[in-house]
Amino acid sequence: MENNVPSVIHSSSLVHPASITVWAGMCIWATLYHHTVPAVFAGFFFALTLCSFLWGRLALRGLGYSIAVPKSGIFPGQNITITRTVHNGKLLPLLWLELLEPCAPNGCLLPDSKLIVTNPSIPEDRPDDIWRCQYSFSLLKWHQTLTFSDIWQAERRGIHRVGEVTIRSGDGFGLCAASNTIMLPAARYVVVYPRLTDVSIEAILNDMWDSRSRSQGRLEDITLLKSIRNYTPRDPARRINQRLLARGQGLKVNQYEQVTPSDVLFMLDVASFAGADAEHLECVLSILASLITGLSRRGINVGLVAPRSAYFPQTYSRPSSGEGELVSMLELLSAASASDAAIDTTMEYISPELLGQTYYVALSEKAATSLQALAGFPAHKTQLLVLEAQGSVSTISQGLRARLITQFWRAS
Protein backbone atom coordinates (compact mmCIF):
# COMPACT_ATOMS: atom_id res chain seq x y z
CA MET A 1 0.00 0.00 0.00
CA GLU A 2 1.04 3.63 -0.39
CA ASN A 3 0.59 6.32 2.26
CA ASN A 4 -0.21 9.18 -0.09
CA VAL A 5 -2.33 11.04 2.47
CA PRO A 6 -0.79 12.13 5.80
CA SER A 7 -2.27 10.78 9.01
CA VAL A 8 -4.92 12.76 10.85
CA ILE A 9 -4.59 12.78 14.63
CA HIS A 10 -7.65 12.90 16.90
CA SER A 11 -6.62 13.32 20.51
CA SER A 12 -7.94 14.48 23.84
CA SER A 13 -6.66 17.73 25.35
CA LEU A 14 -5.01 15.57 28.02
CA VAL A 15 -2.44 14.30 25.51
CA HIS A 16 -1.63 17.66 23.98
CA PRO A 17 2.14 18.37 24.09
CA ALA A 18 1.45 21.33 26.40
CA SER A 19 -0.46 19.12 28.87
CA ILE A 20 2.33 16.53 28.83
CA THR A 21 4.84 19.26 29.55
CA VAL A 22 2.75 20.54 32.46
CA TRP A 23 2.52 17.09 34.03
CA ALA A 24 6.27 16.61 33.63
CA GLY A 25 6.95 19.98 35.23
CA MET A 26 4.64 19.24 38.15
CA CYS A 27 6.31 15.87 38.71
CA ILE A 28 9.78 17.43 38.76
CA TRP A 29 8.67 20.30 41.05
CA ALA A 30 6.99 17.93 43.54
CA THR A 31 10.04 15.66 43.55
CA LEU A 32 12.44 18.53 44.23
CA TYR A 33 10.33 19.71 47.18
CA HIS A 34 9.80 16.16 48.50
CA HIS A 35 6.01 16.13 47.99
CA THR A 36 5.66 12.39 47.46
CA VAL A 37 1.93 12.09 46.78
CA PRO A 38 1.76 14.95 44.24
CA ALA A 39 4.94 13.65 42.60
CA VAL A 40 3.49 10.16 42.17
CA PHE A 41 0.18 11.60 40.95
CA ALA A 42 1.83 13.90 38.41
CA GLY A 43 4.30 11.20 37.36
CA PHE A 44 1.48 8.76 36.68
CA PHE A 45 -0.38 11.20 34.45
CA PHE A 46 2.85 12.20 32.73
CA ALA A 47 3.61 8.55 31.87
CA LEU A 48 0.00 7.92 30.83
CA THR A 49 -0.28 10.91 28.52
CA LEU A 50 3.19 10.45 27.02
CA CYS A 51 2.51 6.76 26.34
CA SER A 52 -0.85 7.61 24.80
CA PHE A 53 0.71 10.39 22.70
CA LEU A 54 3.43 8.13 21.28
CA TRP A 55 1.22 5.08 20.87
CA GLY A 56 -1.42 7.01 18.96
CA ARG A 57 1.12 8.43 16.52
CA LEU A 58 2.97 5.16 15.98
CA ALA A 59 -0.13 2.97 15.65
CA LEU A 60 -0.38 3.24 11.86
CA ARG A 61 3.33 2.85 11.23
CA GLY A 62 4.36 -0.41 9.56
CA LEU A 63 0.83 -1.44 8.56
CA GLY A 64 0.40 -3.29 5.28
CA TYR A 65 -2.95 -3.63 3.54
CA SER A 66 -4.06 -5.54 0.44
CA ILE A 67 -7.37 -6.56 -1.11
CA ALA A 68 -8.16 -9.41 -3.48
CA VAL A 69 -11.26 -9.71 -5.65
CA PRO A 70 -12.17 -12.38 -8.24
CA LYS A 71 -11.36 -11.37 -11.80
CA SER A 72 -14.64 -12.58 -13.27
CA GLY A 73 -17.70 -10.35 -13.22
CA ILE A 74 -21.11 -11.25 -11.82
CA PHE A 75 -24.74 -10.59 -12.65
CA PRO A 76 -27.27 -8.78 -10.44
CA GLY A 77 -28.50 -11.05 -7.67
CA GLN A 78 -25.23 -12.98 -7.43
CA ASN A 79 -22.70 -12.79 -4.59
CA ILE A 80 -18.95 -12.25 -4.59
CA THR A 81 -16.37 -12.85 -1.86
CA ILE A 82 -13.79 -10.11 -1.24
CA THR A 83 -10.69 -10.92 0.81
CA ARG A 84 -8.55 -8.38 2.68
CA THR A 85 -5.22 -8.74 4.47
CA VAL A 86 -3.76 -6.45 7.16
CA HIS A 87 -0.19 -6.96 8.43
CA ASN A 88 1.25 -5.28 11.52
CA GLY A 89 4.96 -5.17 10.80
CA LYS A 90 6.12 -3.61 14.07
CA LEU A 91 6.55 -4.62 17.71
CA LEU A 92 3.80 -2.29 18.92
CA PRO A 93 0.45 -4.15 19.17
CA LEU A 94 -2.87 -2.53 18.27
CA LEU A 95 -5.70 -3.00 20.74
CA TRP A 96 -8.26 -1.79 18.19
CA LEU A 97 -8.38 -1.31 14.45
CA GLU A 98 -10.99 -0.01 12.01
CA LEU A 99 -11.06 -0.23 8.21
CA LEU A 100 -13.37 2.01 6.16
CA GLU A 101 -14.03 1.37 2.45
CA PRO A 102 -16.17 3.36 -0.01
CA CYS A 103 -19.75 2.13 -0.20
CA ALA A 104 -22.80 3.84 -1.69
CA PRO A 105 -26.27 2.64 -0.63
CA ASN A 106 -27.43 2.92 -4.26
CA GLY A 107 -24.26 1.36 -5.69
CA CYS A 108 -24.00 -1.72 -7.86
CA LEU A 109 -22.38 -3.82 -5.10
CA LEU A 110 -23.37 -3.81 -1.42
CA PRO A 111 -22.08 -5.55 1.73
CA ASP A 112 -24.11 -6.66 4.72
CA SER A 113 -26.25 -3.71 5.84
CA LYS A 114 -24.81 -4.03 9.36
CA LEU A 115 -21.41 -2.92 8.03
CA ILE A 116 -22.63 0.33 6.42
CA VAL A 117 -21.99 3.48 8.46
CA THR A 118 -22.23 7.21 7.82
CA ASN A 119 -19.84 10.05 8.48
CA PRO A 120 -21.74 13.18 9.59
CA SER A 121 -18.66 15.36 9.10
CA ILE A 122 -18.89 15.02 5.29
CA PRO A 123 -20.58 18.02 3.59
CA GLU A 124 -24.06 17.48 2.17
CA ASP A 125 -22.85 18.30 -1.36
CA ARG A 126 -20.82 15.07 -1.35
CA PRO A 127 -23.50 12.44 -0.66
CA ASP A 128 -21.52 9.58 -2.20
CA ASP A 129 -18.69 10.11 0.32
CA ILE A 130 -20.92 9.95 3.39
CA TRP A 131 -21.40 6.19 3.32
CA ARG A 132 -18.66 3.74 4.26
CA CYS A 133 -18.31 0.02 4.92
CA GLN A 134 -16.67 -0.40 8.34
CA TYR A 135 -14.74 -3.39 9.69
CA SER A 136 -13.72 -3.36 13.37
CA PHE A 137 -11.20 -5.58 15.19
CA SER A 138 -10.22 -5.70 18.85
CA LEU A 139 -6.58 -6.83 18.72
CA LEU A 140 -3.75 -7.04 16.23
CA LYS A 141 -0.57 -8.36 17.81
CA TRP A 142 2.99 -7.48 16.85
CA HIS A 143 4.06 -8.94 13.47
CA GLN A 144 0.62 -10.49 13.05
CA THR A 145 -1.19 -10.89 9.73
CA LEU A 146 -4.97 -10.67 9.74
CA THR A 147 -6.93 -12.06 6.77
CA PHE A 148 -10.69 -11.83 6.57
CA SER A 149 -13.39 -12.13 3.90
CA ASP A 150 -16.96 -11.03 3.51
CA ILE A 151 -19.70 -11.41 0.93
CA TRP A 152 -21.03 -8.56 -1.19
CA GLN A 153 -24.20 -8.82 -3.26
CA ALA A 154 -24.64 -7.41 -6.75
CA GLU A 155 -27.69 -5.15 -6.84
CA ARG A 156 -27.56 -3.55 -10.28
CA ARG A 157 -25.36 -3.00 -13.32
CA GLY A 158 -22.15 -1.05 -12.82
CA ILE A 159 -18.52 -1.18 -11.77
CA HIS A 160 -17.53 -1.09 -8.10
CA ARG A 161 -14.12 0.51 -7.61
CA VAL A 162 -11.95 0.21 -4.52
CA GLY A 163 -9.02 2.59 -4.88
CA GLU A 164 -8.52 3.64 -1.28
CA VAL A 165 -9.17 2.56 2.27
CA THR A 166 -9.15 4.55 5.51
CA ILE A 167 -7.43 2.87 8.47
CA ARG A 168 -8.00 4.07 12.04
CA SER A 169 -6.28 3.00 15.23
CA GLY A 170 -4.69 4.49 18.32
CA ASP A 171 -3.64 3.93 21.91
CA GLY A 172 -5.31 1.48 24.23
CA PHE A 173 -6.58 4.20 26.55
CA GLY A 174 -8.87 5.91 24.08
CA LEU A 175 -7.09 9.26 24.41
CA CYS A 176 -5.31 9.48 21.05
CA ALA A 177 -6.31 8.03 17.66
CA ALA A 178 -4.99 8.39 14.13
CA SER A 179 -6.59 7.84 10.73
CA ASN A 180 -4.86 7.47 7.39
CA THR A 181 -6.27 7.17 3.87
CA ILE A 182 -4.36 4.55 1.93
CA MET A 183 -4.25 4.82 -1.87
CA LEU A 184 -3.88 1.35 -3.35
CA PRO A 185 -1.09 1.01 -5.95
CA ALA A 186 -3.67 -0.47 -8.34
CA ALA A 187 -7.39 0.02 -7.85
CA ARG A 188 -9.54 -3.10 -7.62
CA TYR A 189 -12.68 -3.41 -9.73
CA VAL A 190 -15.74 -5.62 -9.46
CA VAL A 191 -17.86 -5.66 -12.62
CA VAL A 192 -21.60 -6.23 -12.37
CA TYR A 193 -22.96 -7.11 -15.80
CA PRO A 194 -26.36 -5.93 -17.06
CA ARG A 195 -29.25 -8.10 -15.96
CA LEU A 196 -30.06 -10.78 -18.54
CA THR A 197 -33.64 -11.04 -19.71
CA ASP A 198 -35.53 -13.54 -21.84
CA VAL A 199 -35.09 -12.47 -25.47
CA SER A 200 -35.54 -14.09 -28.87
CA ILE A 201 -32.66 -13.96 -31.36
CA GLU A 202 -34.72 -15.44 -34.20
CA ALA A 203 -35.44 -12.00 -35.68
CA ILE A 204 -31.72 -11.32 -36.02
CA LEU A 205 -31.14 -14.71 -37.63
CA ASN A 206 -33.95 -13.95 -40.08
CA ASP A 207 -32.34 -10.60 -40.91
CA MET A 208 -29.08 -12.40 -41.66
CA TRP A 209 -30.81 -14.84 -44.01
CA ASP A 210 -32.57 -11.99 -45.79
CA SER A 211 -29.30 -10.15 -46.35
CA ARG A 212 -27.69 -13.33 -47.69
CA SER A 213 -30.43 -13.77 -50.26
CA ARG A 214 -29.71 -10.30 -51.67
CA SER A 215 -26.07 -11.26 -52.32
CA GLN A 216 -26.84 -14.83 -53.39
CA GLY A 217 -25.81 -15.90 -49.93
CA ARG A 218 -22.06 -15.50 -50.52
CA LEU A 219 -19.26 -12.96 -50.63
CA GLU A 220 -15.64 -13.28 -51.74
CA ASP A 221 -12.85 -12.79 -49.24
CA ILE A 222 -9.88 -11.40 -51.19
CA THR A 223 -7.52 -12.36 -48.36
CA LEU A 224 -8.18 -16.08 -48.96
CA LEU A 225 -6.76 -17.27 -52.32
CA LYS A 226 -8.41 -20.50 -53.44
CA SER A 227 -6.76 -21.21 -56.82
CA ILE A 228 -5.38 -19.73 -60.07
CA ARG A 229 -6.76 -20.45 -63.56
CA ASN A 230 -6.39 -19.20 -67.11
CA TYR A 231 -7.90 -15.88 -68.06
CA THR A 232 -11.21 -15.69 -69.98
CA PRO A 233 -12.71 -12.59 -71.64
CA ARG A 234 -15.44 -12.47 -68.99
CA ASP A 235 -12.98 -12.09 -66.10
CA PRO A 236 -12.53 -8.56 -64.69
CA ALA A 237 -9.06 -7.05 -64.93
CA ARG A 238 -8.72 -6.69 -61.17
CA ARG A 239 -8.55 -10.51 -60.87
CA ILE A 240 -5.46 -10.81 -63.06
CA ASN A 241 -2.43 -12.12 -61.16
CA GLN A 242 0.08 -9.36 -61.85
CA ARG A 243 2.99 -11.29 -60.38
CA LEU A 244 2.62 -14.21 -62.81
CA LEU A 245 2.08 -11.80 -65.69
CA ALA A 246 5.36 -10.03 -64.87
CA ARG A 247 7.17 -13.38 -64.96
CA GLY A 248 5.92 -14.02 -68.50
CA GLN A 249 3.59 -16.87 -67.52
CA GLY A 250 0.63 -15.42 -69.35
CA LEU A 251 -2.70 -14.12 -68.17
CA LYS A 252 -3.85 -15.87 -65.03
CA VAL A 253 -6.71 -14.87 -62.73
CA ASN A 254 -7.14 -15.41 -59.01
CA GLN A 255 -10.07 -17.28 -57.55
CA TYR A 256 -10.92 -16.43 -53.94
CA GLU A 257 -12.68 -18.34 -51.21
CA GLN A 258 -16.36 -17.56 -50.85
CA VAL A 259 -17.60 -16.90 -47.35
CA THR A 260 -21.07 -16.61 -45.89
CA PRO A 261 -21.63 -13.44 -43.84
CA SER A 262 -22.42 -14.63 -40.32
CA ASP A 263 -21.15 -11.77 -38.17
CA VAL A 264 -23.33 -9.33 -36.24
CA LEU A 265 -22.14 -5.91 -35.08
CA PHE A 266 -23.88 -3.68 -32.53
CA MET A 267 -23.13 0.04 -32.21
CA LEU A 268 -24.16 1.51 -28.86
CA ASP A 269 -25.05 5.20 -28.85
CA VAL A 270 -25.32 5.85 -25.09
CA ALA A 271 -25.05 9.60 -25.65
CA SER A 272 -28.55 9.50 -27.14
CA PHE A 273 -29.89 8.65 -23.65
CA ALA A 274 -28.66 11.92 -22.12
CA GLY A 275 -31.53 13.57 -20.26
CA ALA A 276 -33.78 10.51 -20.52
CA ASP A 277 -35.03 8.38 -17.66
CA ALA A 278 -32.20 6.24 -16.28
CA GLU A 279 -34.40 3.15 -16.50
CA HIS A 280 -34.55 3.56 -20.29
CA LEU A 281 -30.82 2.98 -20.60
CA GLU A 282 -30.94 0.07 -18.16
CA CYS A 283 -33.71 -1.55 -20.20
CA VAL A 284 -31.78 -1.23 -23.46
CA LEU A 285 -28.51 -2.48 -21.96
CA SER A 286 -30.29 -5.47 -20.46
CA ILE A 287 -31.80 -6.45 -23.82
CA LEU A 288 -28.54 -5.79 -25.66
CA ALA A 289 -26.51 -7.90 -23.22
CA SER A 290 -29.05 -10.71 -23.57
CA LEU A 291 -28.91 -10.58 -27.38
CA ILE A 292 -25.10 -10.63 -27.42
CA THR A 293 -25.03 -13.55 -24.98
CA GLY A 294 -27.69 -15.51 -26.85
CA LEU A 295 -26.05 -15.04 -30.27
CA SER A 296 -22.60 -15.96 -28.94
CA ARG A 297 -23.92 -19.16 -27.40
CA ARG A 298 -25.48 -20.04 -30.76
CA GLY A 299 -22.05 -19.78 -32.39
CA ILE A 300 -22.73 -16.45 -34.13
CA ASN A 301 -19.80 -14.03 -34.18
CA VAL A 302 -20.86 -10.87 -32.35
CA GLY A 303 -19.04 -7.55 -32.15
CA LEU A 304 -19.67 -4.29 -30.30
CA VAL A 305 -18.74 -0.66 -30.77
CA ALA A 306 -18.88 1.16 -27.44
CA PRO A 307 -17.97 4.85 -27.02
CA ARG A 308 -15.46 6.18 -24.51
CA SER A 309 -16.59 5.81 -20.90
CA ALA A 310 -15.16 6.55 -17.48
CA TYR A 311 -13.41 3.16 -17.47
CA PHE A 312 -12.65 2.33 -21.13
CA PRO A 313 -11.65 4.21 -24.28
CA GLN A 314 -13.83 3.88 -27.36
CA THR A 315 -13.63 0.19 -28.19
CA TYR A 316 -14.34 -1.85 -31.28
CA SER A 317 -14.73 -5.48 -30.24
CA ARG A 318 -14.32 -7.48 -33.45
CA PRO A 319 -17.06 -10.05 -34.10
CA SER A 320 -16.30 -13.29 -32.29
CA SER A 321 -18.10 -16.07 -30.45
CA GLY A 322 -15.31 -16.63 -27.92
CA GLU A 323 -15.96 -16.51 -24.19
CA GLY A 324 -13.24 -13.91 -23.61
CA GLU A 325 -14.71 -11.54 -26.17
CA LEU A 326 -18.18 -12.01 -24.66
CA VAL A 327 -16.87 -11.03 -21.23
CA SER A 328 -15.17 -7.95 -22.70
CA MET A 329 -18.41 -6.81 -24.33
CA LEU A 330 -20.38 -7.31 -21.11
CA GLU A 331 -17.77 -5.22 -19.28
CA LEU A 332 -18.19 -2.42 -21.83
CA LEU A 333 -21.95 -2.48 -21.27
CA SER A 334 -21.43 -2.43 -17.50
CA ALA A 335 -19.39 0.77 -17.77
CA ALA A 336 -21.83 2.58 -20.08
CA SER A 337 -23.38 5.82 -18.87
CA ALA A 338 -25.67 8.38 -20.46
CA SER A 339 -22.98 11.00 -19.79
CA ASP A 340 -20.46 9.19 -22.01
CA ALA A 341 -19.18 10.78 -25.20
CA ALA A 342 -20.73 10.18 -28.59
CA ILE A 343 -19.25 7.56 -30.92
CA ASP A 344 -16.16 8.77 -32.75
CA THR A 345 -17.29 8.60 -36.38
CA THR A 346 -13.68 8.58 -37.68
CA MET A 347 -13.07 5.03 -36.44
CA GLU A 348 -12.32 2.62 -39.28
CA TYR A 349 -13.90 -0.82 -39.60
CA ILE A 350 -12.42 -3.71 -41.54
CA SER A 351 -14.65 -5.08 -44.35
CA PRO A 352 -18.07 -3.89 -43.11
CA GLU A 353 -19.60 -5.47 -46.23
CA LEU A 354 -18.72 -8.91 -44.84
CA LEU A 355 -20.94 -8.45 -41.81
CA GLY A 356 -24.20 -10.34 -41.77
CA GLN A 357 -26.05 -7.52 -40.02
CA THR A 358 -25.24 -4.23 -38.27
CA TYR A 359 -27.49 -2.72 -35.58
CA TYR A 360 -27.22 0.85 -34.32
CA VAL A 361 -28.72 1.04 -30.80
CA ALA A 362 -30.12 4.40 -29.62
CA LEU A 363 -32.94 5.89 -27.60
CA SER A 364 -34.75 7.06 -30.73
CA GLU A 365 -34.09 8.04 -34.31
CA LYS A 366 -34.26 11.72 -33.39
CA ALA A 367 -31.90 11.39 -30.41
CA ALA A 368 -29.23 9.43 -32.31
CA THR A 369 -25.94 11.35 -32.18
CA SER A 370 -23.54 9.43 -34.45
CA LEU A 371 -25.39 8.09 -37.47
CA GLN A 372 -22.41 9.17 -39.57
CA ALA A 373 -20.58 6.16 -38.15
CA LEU A 374 -22.74 3.97 -40.40
CA ALA A 375 -21.15 5.37 -43.55
CA GLY A 376 -19.62 2.50 -45.48
CA PHE A 377 -22.01 -0.12 -44.10
CA PRO A 378 -24.43 -1.68 -46.63
CA ALA A 379 -27.82 -0.07 -46.08
CA HIS A 380 -29.75 -3.30 -46.68
CA LYS A 381 -27.83 -4.97 -43.83
CA THR A 382 -28.03 -2.07 -41.35
CA GLN A 383 -30.85 -1.29 -38.92
CA LEU A 384 -31.58 1.00 -36.01
CA LEU A 385 -32.72 -0.52 -32.74
CA VAL A 386 -34.56 2.15 -30.78
CA LEU A 387 -36.55 2.24 -27.56
CA GLU A 388 -38.86 5.01 -28.71
CA ALA A 389 -40.35 5.32 -32.20
CA GLN A 390 -43.50 6.56 -33.89
CA GLY A 391 -44.29 3.03 -35.04
CA SER A 392 -42.93 -0.47 -34.89
CA VAL A 393 -40.93 0.02 -38.10
CA SER A 394 -40.02 3.24 -39.88
CA THR A 395 -37.55 4.55 -42.43
CA ILE A 396 -35.12 7.37 -41.76
CA SER A 397 -33.41 9.71 -44.21
CA GLN A 398 -30.43 7.42 -44.84
CA GLY A 399 -32.78 4.70 -46.06
CA LEU A 400 -32.21 2.54 -42.97
CA ARG A 401 -34.92 0.63 -41.20
CA ALA A 402 -35.69 1.25 -37.53
CA ARG A 403 -37.03 -1.38 -35.18
CA LEU A 404 -38.16 -1.26 -31.57
CA ILE A 405 -35.59 -3.08 -29.47
CA THR A 406 -38.35 -4.24 -27.12
CA GLN A 407 -39.60 -6.48 -29.94
CA PHE A 408 -36.81 -8.88 -29.04
CA TRP A 409 -38.43 -9.62 -25.69
CA ARG A 410 -39.74 -13.15 -25.81
CA ALA A 411 -43.50 -13.29 -25.40
CA SER A 412 -44.47 -14.87 -22.10
Work out the angle between the directed axes of helices 323-335 and 278-297 (0-180°, nearest 10): 180
**DSSP notation for 305-320:** EE---SSS--EEEEEE
Q: Which amino acid is residue 10, in one-letter code?
A: H
- Own/partner pairs, 344-347, CB within 8 angstroms, 24+ separation: 344/307, 344/308, 344/314, 344/370, 344/373, 345/370, 345/372, 345/373, 345/375, 347/305, 347/314, 347/316, 347/373
By the 10 Å C-beta count (0-12 exposed, 13-18 middle, 19+ buried), 412 is classed as: exposed
User: CA-based angle 326:198:366, to the nearest 5?
Assistant: 80
**C-alpha dihedral sign at 336, 337, 340, 344:** positive
Note down pLDDT in tens along the chain; length 412 residues: 444 445 667 767 777 888 888 888 998 998 888 888 988 888 888 888 888 888 888 888 889 999 999 888 999 999 999 999 999 999 999 999 999 998 887 889 999 988 888 766 555 555 556 688 999 999 999 999 999 999 999 999 999 998 889 999 988 888 888 888 888 888 899 999 999 999 988 888 777 766 554 444 445 555 556 778 888 888 888 788 888 888 888 888 887 765 555 789 999 999 999 989 999 999 999 999 999 999 998 888 999 999 999 999 999 999 988 899 999 999 999 999 999 999 998 888 877 877 888 999 999 988 999 999 998 888 888 999 999 875 545 555 456 788 899 999 875 4
Rounded to two decimals, the pTM is 0.78
Name all domains of the chain by residue range, CATH numbers in brackets.
Answer: 1-192 (2.60.40.10), 202-214+262-408 (3.40.50), 219-259 (no CATH)
End-to-end Cα, the chain, rounded Å = 52
